A and B are shown apart, each in its own frame.
Chain A
Amino acid sequence: MIFRTILAIAIALAAMVSLSRADEDRAGVISQTIDEVIVAGYSALQERAKDQERAISALCSAPSPALLETARAAFNETVRSWSRVEMFRFGPARTDYRFERMFYWPDRKGRGLQQVQAILAEKDETATSLETLQQKSVAVQGLTSLEFALFGTGSEELLEAGGYRCRYADAVAQAIHEVSGEFVSAWQSAGGHAALMRDPGGHNPLYKTEAEVLQALIQAAREQLEIVGDIKIKTAIGETPDDAHPKRAPFWRSGDTIASLRANIAGVQALFTGHLDLLLGDDPASIANGLAFELSQADAALASLEQLNRSWEDLVSDPETHGKLVYALIPLHGAKETVSERYPEALGLVLGFNSLDGD
């Protein structure tokens, strides 16, 4: 009897030890994920935004076709960096309209675009300095505005010395650089969002447990996969090429649609591979491999289209390439199911039916 009691205590103690070990691992993995995926991702964006600001400023000081190409290439890079972290729509993204200031999309009825066009038509000088631009609509100071300035109708005006369009693009590039810096500091400053996620507990206004932190991250991935598949791709390509609306997808003007979708997928992959996947232990069901396979299938389909070097509108309207986009939706859907069901189950998270997607 005594022996059984001692045994029971020993088992209980062992269980406690392994539990605290697991908790420590969770905390470590969460912390590392925040540093290596989120903060590093926004820091890279800040760097690209800085390069972009310089490139546009150089273009405006001495306009030339070569410098326009450099500026456009810097934009392409900024879009890729942004698309890697677009998925983190909570916390710092929801403060001061940062998300909308950076990426005003979807632009239903082209309202944001109309405001940008009005600014360019009126040559509104208050849109050419950072301070006064930031007081304007969120729709005229981010990536979609800069895309129109650099690639949209009339972008040849960028080659005019001292031209208005370049000065507007310059102010928008500064605004993008500034918001990307705000993202970095809102995440990593003392008391910032990273600190909140690293220190869950009763005292924490947002995260009571590590499970809640993991839920927030997994939810962000789930939502991003849904947006990539159901909103960005499906809404643009329709059921058939005849039924398609390619211009509903973001970044078709700059030719960055597929690159941005691939970066969205890569962002999700980075959150799991080498990071949250570490929490799955020996992963006998191979959830991690399953997700990696689905994401790589989707990415491969998109990569094969990107290699064709054809415009997004062209890819959507050609039945053969349209079919490939339809195909990409299948693994994206599978990946979303894995993230929304298998990961929470394996990690012991209860993603409540009502709390997951409310109304």
Chain B
Amino acid sequence: MRHGPDRRSVILGLAATGALPLTGFADTRQEAAFVSCCKMRDGHFAAAVLDVDAKLIFHENLDGRGHDSAISPDGAAAVVFARRPGRFALVLDLVRRQRQLAFSAPKDRHFQGHGFFSNDGRLLFATENDFGGERGVMGIYDVAADYRRVGEIDTGGIGPHEALLLSDGRTVAIANGGILTHPDFPRQKLNLDTMAPSLVYADLTSGDIVETVSLSPELHQLSIRHMAEDGRGRIWFGGQFEGARSETVPLAGWHERGRDIQLCGAADTVWQAMSNYIGSVAASADGRRIAMSSPRGNTVLIWDCASGRALEQRSIRDVCGLAPMSGAFLSSDGSGGLELDGAPLRAFDELSWDNHIAVLNRARRSG
């Protein structure tokens, strides 16, 4: 892979945004910091691992299109999930820089593309579709037993997408997108007329759902899909509106446990810039800002968590992946570009970055 066509503009870009050139991390260079799926120019799919400077360390081919990854708490492994309705998962050894093993969702389930490790690193949880039962589950996999599936938890809704382990280490927030799909009709949305998305909290130790919140009936077609936790423990979500594109609705909001969902307030022009579609949500390292991307609107929106206001709107073509990086936000796009707070950082001409960037704690901290 070839790096940026113009290193000077990269450095200038960094200077212009106030971010320091990435120096002083010599000890962490070439250690994995980010994992993202991608599509190579020749058409095959891969997962790429980048260091704290967002330089490529290695990549591994995938059997099909990937989506997000779960990173083990010790940073030694990443599990790359197939994009729905795929059934493969690939474990990457981030220390040896190679694939470790592959496993699959059971025959009657498929991955939804997101998951996470338990805090002790012993279990992996993956959002899955029980398409026969028309319900969402989180599959539980035993890491030490080569990721053998040992059980599942009901997500209390249809079409679970992103699930986050919250900072208390035992509660998981699950975005039930509400859209019914079945592998017989690949990626066709089967219930747009009756969809009912929800945000559900489950206790991982008991498997019980401890809280469910949903949107008001007129927003029942806003599929809640991606989330991030802010520094105060509130969940920020970005949605995808399945109604008419000519309708302008608030696409994002936040939720504090025990309360109602709050929708983000912003001018119609801001929501229009997001084209009814938020593809990825990430929190800054300090938990004070939230970034949301819209590849369809070619826009990244930054929210201030304290005031709930939109701080900034950045224009980046086909942007989707987001991750905190050195006090800023790293973003990725479909032309192979990586940006730091909107300024070009690297260009990978031979690939398209896919929807998400998973981040290791060391990259989060390096701000």
List B contacts of A353 (CB < 8 A): 39, 318, 334-335, 352-354
Chain B at the A interface: SS class = loop
Do the beta carbons of A354 and B246 come within 8 Å of each other?
Answer: no
Determine the distance from Cα of A206 to Cα of B113 in the docked complex, in whole angstroms: 29
Which one of A70-78, A87-95, A149-157 is at the interface?
A: A87-95
Taking CB atoms, residues of chain A closer than 8 Å to B190 are 106, 108
Q: Is A320 an interface residue (CB 8 A)?
A: no
How many Å from the CB of B131 to the closest CB on chain A? 9
Q: Binary interface profile of A, 217-234, with partner B (CB < 8 Å = 1, else 0)? A: 000000000010011000
Partner of A95, one of B193, B244, B318: B244
Instruction: Flag B169-196 by CB within 8 Å of A: 1 or 0 each.
Output: 0000000000010101111101011000
A348 at the interface (CB under 8 A from B): no
Q: Are B317 and A350 in contact (CB under 8 A)?
A: yes
Chain B residues near A94: list those with CB within 8 A. Answer: 242-245
Task: Assign chain A's interface to a size class.
Answer: 20 to 34
Interface size on B, residues (CB 8 A): 42
Which residue of chain A has the shortest Cβ distance to B225 in the bound complex? Answer: A359
On chain A, the residues within 8 Å of B39 by CB distance are 353
Query: With A100-B192, A205-B248, A231-B185 as given contacts, are A359 and B355 in contact (CB-CB < 8 Å)?
Result: yes
Contact with B319, one of A91, A235, A354 (Cβ below 8 angstroms):
A354
Within the assembled complex, what's the spacing in Å between the Cα atoms of A266 and B69?
Answer: 42
Q: Is residue A138 contacting chain B, with contact meaning CB distance below 8 A?
A: yes
CB pair A205 B272 closer than 8 Å: yes
CA distance A106 to B187 in the complex (A): 12
Main secondary structure of the interface of A (DSSP, over half): helix
Interface positions, chain B 314-332, Cβ under 8 Å from A, are: 317-320
CB closest residue in chain A, given B334:
A353
Docked Cα-Cα span, A231 to B183, in Å, equals 10
B346 contacts chain A at the CB level, 8 A cutoff: no
A248 at the B interface (CB under 8 A): yes
Chain B positions within 8 Å of A245 at CB level: 184
Q: Using a CB-CB cutoff of 8 Å, which residues 68-122 of chain A contact chain B?
A: 90-92, 94-95, 97, 100, 106, 108
Which one of A91, A97, A106, A350 contacts B246 once the chains associate, using CB atoms below 8 Å?
A91
Within 8 Å of chain B (Cβ to Cβ): is A358? yes
A355's partner among B185, B192, B244, B296 (CB-CB below 8 A) is B296
Whole-angstrom CA separation of A205 from B320 in the bound complex? 21
Which residues of chain A in 311-359 are interfacial with respect to chain B, using CB atoms and an 8 Å cutoff?
350, 352-355, 357-359
A 225-268 to B, binary, CB cutoff 8 A, 1 in contact else 0: 00100110001000000000100100000000000000000000
A residues lining the B interface (CB < 8 Å): 90-92, 94-95, 97, 100, 106, 108, 137-139, 193, 196, 205-206, 227, 230-231, 235, 245, 248, 350, 352-355, 357-359
Q: Please name 11 further chain A to chain B contacts, defined as beta carbons within 8 Å, in addition to the given A97-B193, A100-B192, sorted by A numbering.
A: A94-B242, A100-B193, A106-B190, A108-B180, A205-B248, A235-B184, A352-B296, A352-B333, A353-B318, A355-B334, A358-B355
Between A and B, 21 residue pairs with Cβ closer than 8 Å are A94-B242, A108-B182, A196-B246, A205-B246, A227-B188, A230-B186, A235-B184, A235-B185, A353-B39, A353-B318, A354-B319, A354-B355, A355-B277, A355-B295, A355-B298, A355-B318, A358-B277, A358-B295, A358-B320, A359-B84, A359-B279
Nearest 4 CB-CB pairs, A to B? A352-B318, A353-B334, A354-B295, A353-B352
